[in-house]
Structure 1
């Protein structure tokens, strides 16, 4: 119930205050289009919270609580940030008020505008502060709900992560109190001499805290024993900032902060220096704060601070294991060959203050390392492998995990590690170093694990609860499974329907015995399914009138390019298709697109890239989506090969496609591919390129203000994948740059970008426009003043979508009355 859900609510209920069903004269989108979105499930699985979204008329959006057994549907529209209780209540936000809904009687009751609130699942209790500064605990049980504790004069509280302890102060008083949420026992802890800060750190057992006071001293409180002590930091002549505290598992803790410099370099007001050996180009966008870096270890047994040497080249990472820190130079290996630099981490023994050698060199190590639940082992990536380090024996074990796209995790006993190899889930036993297959699948698979337990820097599964995961095989079929006591149960059989796994976490009950999700296909609207009582049933049928989509037809083709690489393409048929007629076709490209074959698309004018496949079908177009990939020849030349071969195959199979009326469109990398193809092919009668790279050489040597590094890594690596530097193969760069073929264009081109696009800088689009304009090609460029790499505002999205429709209608079905195009492409008028 965090930011993601709040954003969803705002988008669903607040973004639009007018009906969007009425469009320009030639476009009228049926307002009945809608889809289901599963947002939450009760911990006991009895209820699920579902949105009914009308994307073309947001004012019609609805929300329901649906009983997973009886299918009773209670409308709770405009209530968000929801939480189910075990006694069939729903608690949520309705505008600014918190409301509770009795789902049995369907009655709503307002608790008013609450200043702070938290749901305590284990106790079935709502904790909140009223506008009158009253701290209240309200318990929900079979008898209903009742206030079990309250205290007046409280304006703020703090819960520990497990929600078993509550800290608060009375108004006008700096004494800190603790309330045990299980026993409701109240205890006075200490006078902290100031109001309770929002940021404080709990130890791993969650019975002690450390907080930084305004005076920049540290206060340690043992909340279990009720004792505390102030820890005085060395006095500084300047202000202290960025105070960070983190515990070891033995309750020692690490403290770091910066002493800000009082003076700054006066040249910075008028001069920015970029040195050739600069490893900190990220600070050309994010200003680096100067100061002296300080670090300390606080030892509980001696009640003393021990200062550590710290600098911008010698930093520490507290992994929580007593007597050890990791040390590293953040920029030692910075070479701008990737978004995040490799970092070399070494082990520092705090007893001897001696380094014990390298632990690992990795990218994103700090977000990937995984401490065992028992606190003795560390699981982490080291270059291209995964390892476990034992901090007692100082031995390391290589894990036979080779799938770089997935992250292994622990069992709760810290004895085994779960991982996947691209085909099966396996468990590696640390004690006997044996691998055991958990699944026995014969095809390549991608897995998504649902109910792993996530704690700070520790992810694991609990054996006394079923473990839910999904499996995706290469032909885009999905299944759901449950693992419990070494037994695999298939919840949902392999389906060509799209099973919405993106939000599967939202649809799994706490006991893992109930799972709710949506299924869809290109000709099947979202259906809400439920697994309960060991069987699957339909919870909510689609509420889209069948006449809106029953005509839909699709064809999937498979073919090879000249290198023998397997490719596929998807063809969607136009509405009211008649096999004896000829129809124009628009091709959309962006890498491999086979996963879209089972998506139920709703026609809409609100699209981030201006293109909506269902809308084009409704307008009488075939839509084709072929795969592309990057071969040794480079991204542009391979795109020509992939798309040309796909067009040849699909037009031979479907004679109703008018080969003289073909359009091509793409955005971002697809925009680059579109631009290149149109300069090297005469297949297409119209093209649209959005937010694309047009000059690879220029792009290579740009500084990327979005990623805060030079762009050359992107061209040599991830997506463009030229695989070598410009000096090694300049012709490959020239031969794959669209702008070098501007003079060859015969296809009218519509370009668009956002003037706040710093991912692919908007100047790339203007350069291509200038090149095409120089050779008097048919070109119009759209520059959206407040947009970035994609369009996010309704009026921009609607404008671009209509212009995309106009462009293809103008050139593919000869609707030549469109004034903005007529004015823009005739070089004989101005």
Structure 2
């Protein structure tokens, strides 16, 4: 039915079908037949049109544009493009340097080659294209060229509403021209080179930075955008400074900062690391010069903020009061980012400071990680209030001048969001939504999501370093309510004290939620373990309608059987997801593969696409087809520490499924990658319940990792012990617990074959951690094979040679030890009795 409704227009070609004859591996051939929709979507301004990508190995990826309001189901296919909507009139699709414009009313298309970038002019229903020949050309929605500007550099900006700004060379000078598409006007001319051009967040001001002949200074020039006015501000800044604009009070004023990074010598003879250096190889964050100004565009007033050179200035969305602090003062590296110690509020009018003390990072609970860190300071949209935490547990409310109003005496309040009028503060939590009335200083439960993880979906968050403006743009509040025990999600709309259920509780996974500005229509991308992703709509009465499923048929997914097992471990109630083998026969017994990481209950409704690859090469759907049970148990961290807690969790999970007569208890494999790799390493040194192991990119020396340096994170890994591994201590003060949770100290106890793998370019967990475990296993004559991928990082993207090779070896390893396929040469080489 839906196929007949498609108005498919082939706009880009060039994708080759991969024939069966070209396939060497039958698993790859089987996987290539499956397609699914991505959870990444595009939407037009009023959500009348939604673009979504269909992923297909066999036929190539394609993007479809769906009319959400049409009763005749209008769908266009627009190649494999990145989309940019032009109101509800058209859409630009860009793939490489090819661009297509699709008129959404007529269905007609215009094609362009050699395009560097695209720009929309919403108020004029026009679009601009910058070509390789450095010509900027502007077109209407029918593809008619309206204007052409030559000699344009790559420095081009647009407010997306009515003006494009472009830098060009003319007669040996740099020019800034502006155009609405019908005419062009020279806005500015200079003999200097323009090194940067950008619009403010509000789109009201255009700034350019010129490289002058002066060895000490460059020049910042600001124009009022969109109305052909002359420059309104000219300011000398330090040479090579990075300039940042922090919008205050919706663009009524700006905090301007100019920072010059500390110069470091390239490839010095010796890289000196000092024991008292708080930056620890993060010197790109250091500044040799800092300058701050407050600027009022309406009266064109610029005022210097005279703080000492060592102090950093942050916005609290106020043009009189500012957050000041010493960068990284007292950083103990136990948190992922430095906390704001000895923070102050600076009063520009009185040139005075108010101490607000040490500000801690507040914790946040997610679906998987139990500890995620928020920003330090949250401000209201009117700049009158800000929130901070002095203990990382409770929030304190402050006036913008730094005077503390009150401490909100409740634990577990997470992401704060100010109301549109800045008279209330809403808090997310794992126990529903909470409302703090600022005038009454009263906290009240909203009776939304009680007992469940509840988040606000429609708030605006404007991040600026350690501070963030967090507010609702309207009086409407859209709440997501998630039941972690049942893995069920729903959505409610809260307005003027009333609440409405707009998406009833569903066991489907909602990976994407889209809504129009009025929030009267909602659209979701939903899936389940036996349901491929599809696009749905919900109306005011919460009626659900299928909009688009990509004509994807997966009859095999409908037959997948799943069970949820509950158990208790590490002081918590946990769950495990058991998937049954394809074509399950209750008269037979099957081997089982256990995959661990952290909390995994939320994966029970994830679509089991054959092309969805876990980083460790494990592919659940393929394993089910090959005759395995696959078990995904939760693991958490209790008082014993991460390793011992994982052991308890996995053993109790195995006990929970032990009475299933179809599981061969002697043929169970365990695997994990990264955090799961550490847990696999530890369990392998303490358990006798597994016949084979696979561990990828995991830590083997827990204490050594604590004292290691991460290239990816650009910092010592002290903090990982207190975030991911939740130790809350250090080895010096807690030696016994660190020793008991260290896999390498019990490496001689591994009693089943283990496959190790790592990427030599892993900047997160050094491959030497895997090498150390391999050396230990070899020392005690254990059956081990280690795979070191020369170009591999921490995880391997799908389709890379590393991922393809690893996926095949993962199947080989489990087939060899759990299915008895003992004719695999690369494994035979290790298992042969006379092997050295």
Q: Secondary structure at the match of 2:53?
A: strand
Q: Secondary structure at the match of 2:748?
A: helix
Q: CA deviation at 1:30?
A: 4.7
Q: Secondary structure at the match of 1:579?
A: coil
Instruction: Tell me whether 1:590 sits opposite 2:597 in the alignment.
Output: yes
Looking at structure 1, the residues matched to 708 and 770 of structure 2 have their Cα atoms a distance apart, in angstroms, of 14
Gaps of 5+ in 2: 1-11, 213-217, 363-372
Once structures 1 and 2 are overlaid, which stretch shifts more, 786-795 or 208-217?
208-217
Aligned to 1:479: 490
Once structures 1 and 2 are overlaid, which stretch shifts more, 782-791 or 374-383?
374-383
Looking at structure 2, the residues matched to 13 and 409 of structure 1 have their Cα atoms a distance apart, in angstroms, of 46
Q: Secondary structure at the match of 1:29?
A: helix
Q: Deviations over 1:139-182 (max 9, x none)?
A: 55xxx6767x636447267556574554456651655455579x
Describe the shift of the 1:737–1:602 C-alpha distance in structure 2 as closer, same or farther (beyond 3 A). Answer: same
Instruction: Tell me whether 1:828 sits opposite 2:834 in the alignment.
Output: yes
Instruction: Tell me whether 1:46 sits opposite 2:45 in the alignment.
Output: no
Q: CA deviation at 1:578?
A: 0.9
Looking at structure 2, the residues matched to 162 and 61 of structure 1 have their Cα atoms a distance apart, in angstroms, of 28
Say whether the 8 Å CA contact 2:508–2:528 is kept in structure 1: yes
**Of 543, 550, 564, which residue of structure 2 is paired with 1:556?**
564
Aligned to 1:601: 608
Q: Secondary structure at the match of 2:277?
A: coil
Aligned to 1:278: 277
Looking at structure 1, the residues matched to 357 and 740 of structure 2 have their Cα atoms a distance apart, in angstroms, of 44
Aligned to 1:629: 636
Q: Which runs of structure 2 are paired with 1:263-662 in the superposition (5 Å)?
A: 269-283=268-282, 291-295=288-292, 306=304, 308-311=306-309, 313-344=310-341, 345-358=343-356, 361-363=359-361, 369-384=377-392, 385-391=394-400, 394=403, 396-398=405-407, 402-403=411-412, 406-435=414-443, 438-450=446-458, 452=460, 457-463=468-474, 467-474=477-484, 475-484=486-495, 486-500=497-511, 503-504=512-513, 507-532=514-539, 534=541, 535-541=543-549, 543-561=551-569, 565-604=572-611, 606-652=613-659, 654-662=660-668
Q: Secondary structure at the match of 1:36?
A: strand
Q: CA deviation at 1:750?
A: 0.6
Q: Secondary structure at the match of 1:347?
A: strand
Q: CA deviation at 1:823?
A: 0.8
Q: CA deviation at 1:626?
A: 1.5
Gaps of 5+ in 1: 1-11
Q: Deviations over 1:317-373 (max 9, x none)?
A: 244522333221112121111221112321122234322222762449995644433
Q: Deviations over 1:68-110 (max 9, x none)?
A: 3335353424242223455553322244232222345543222
TM-score of the superposed pair, with normalisation by structure 2: 0.85
Aligned to 1:818: 824
Say whether the 8 Å CA contact 1:586–1:663 is kept in structure 2: yes
Looking at structure 2, the residues matched to 260 and 568 of structure 1 have their Cα atoms a distance apart, in angstroms, of 50
Q: Secondary structure at the match of 2:782?
A: coil
Once structures 1 and 2 are overlaid, which stretch shifts more, 162-171 or 660-669?
162-171
Aligned to 1:743: 748
Describe the shift of the 1:729–1:226 C-alpha distance in structure 2 as closer, same or farther (beyond 3 A). Answer: closer
Say whether the 8 Å CA contact 1:245–1:256 is kept in structure 2: no
Say whether the 8 Å CA contact 2:535–2:549 is kept in structure 1: yes
Describe the shift of the 1:187–1:388 C-alpha distance in structure 2 as closer, same or farther (beyond 3 A). Answer: farther
Looking at structure 1, the residues matched to 709 and 271 of structure 2 have their Cα atoms a distance apart, in angstroms, of 15
Q: CA deviation at 1:493?
A: 1.0
Q: CA deviation at 1:819?
A: 0.5
Aligned to 1:66: 66
Q: Secondary structure at the match of 2:834?
A: coil
Describe the shift of the 1:187–1:433 C-alpha distance in structure 2 as closer, same or farther (beyond 3 A). Answer: farther
Q: CA deviation at 1:115?
A: 4.4
Q: CA deviation at 1:785?
A: 0.9
Q: CA deviation at 1:761?
A: 1.4
Once structures 1 and 2 are overlaid, which stretch shifts more, 244-253 or 550-559?
244-253
Looking at structure 1, the residues matched to 559 and 247 of structure 2 have their Cα atoms a distance apart, in angstroms, of 62
Note the aligned Cα RMSD (angstroms): 3.7
Describe the shift of the 1:187–1:251 C-alpha distance in structure 2 as closer, same or farther (beyond 3 A). Answer: farther
Describe the shift of the 1:433–1:145 C-alpha distance in structure 2 as closer, same or farther (beyond 3 A). Answer: farther
Say whether the 8 Å CA contact 2:122–2:160 is kept in structure 1: no
Question: Aligned pair count?
Answer: 792
Say whether the 8 Å CA contact 1:605–1:802 is kept in structure 2: no
Once structures 1 and 2 are overlaid, which stretch shifts more, 755-764 or 189-198?
189-198
Looking at structure 1, the residues matched to 329 and 88 of structure 2 have their Cα atoms a distance apart, in angstroms, of 57
Looking at structure 1, the residues matched to 640 and 303 of structure 2 have their Cα atoms a distance apart, in angstroms, of 60
Instruction: Tell me whether 1:786 sits opposite 2:791 in the alignment.
Output: yes
Q: Deviations over 1:650-691 (max 9, x none)?
A: 021x10111111111111121111111122111111111111
Looking at structure 2, the residues matched to 327 and 86 of structure 1 have their Cα atoms a distance apart, in angstroms, of 42
Say whether the 8 Å CA contact 2:761–2:791 is kept in structure 1: yes
Say whether the 8 Å CA contact 1:666–1:674 is kept in structure 2: yes
Q: Secondary structure at the match of 2:801?
A: helix
Q: Which runs of structure 2 are paired with 1:63-102 in the superposition (5 Å)?
A: 63-68=63-68, 69-70=70-71, 72-85=73-86, 89-102=90-103
Q: CA deviation at 1:540?
A: 2.8
Say whether the 8 Å CA contact 2:530–2:607 is kept in structure 1: yes
Aligned to 1:117: 118
Q: Secondary structure at the match of 1:661?
A: strand
Looking at structure 1, the residues matched to 307 and 495 of structure 2 have their Cα atoms a distance apart, in angstroms, of 49
Describe the shift of the 1:278–1:547 C-alpha distance in structure 2 as closer, same or farther (beyond 3 A). Answer: same
Describe the shift of the 1:35–1:592 C-alpha distance in structure 2 as closer, same or farther (beyond 3 A). Answer: same
Looking at structure 2, the residues matched to 418 and 459 of structure 1 have their Cα atoms a distance apart, in angstroms, of 10
Q: CA deviation at 1:628?
A: 1.3
Aligned to 1:126: 127
Looking at structure 2, the residues matched to 595 and 577 of structure 1 have their Cα atoms a distance apart, in angstroms, of 24
TM-score of the superposed pair, with normalisation by structure 1: 0.85
Describe the shift of the 1:127–1:397 C-alpha distance in structure 2 as closer, same or farther (beyond 3 A). Answer: farther
Q: Secondary structure at the match of 1:199?
A: strand
Q: Deviations over 1:713-736 (max 9, x none)?
A: 323x12323333323342322222
Describe the shift of the 1:251–1:737 C-alpha distance in structure 2 as closer, same or farther (beyond 3 A). Answer: closer
Describe the shift of the 1:670–1:490 C-alpha distance in structure 2 as closer, same or farther (beyond 3 A). Answer: same
Once structures 1 and 2 are overlaid, which stretch shifts more, 548-557 or 750-759?
548-557
Say whether the 8 Å CA contact 1:13–1:58 is kept in structure 2: no
Instruction: Tell me whether 1:734 sits opposite 2:739 in the alignment.
Output: yes
Instruction: Tell me whether 1:776 sits opposite 2:778 in the alignment.
Output: no
Aligned to 1:3: none
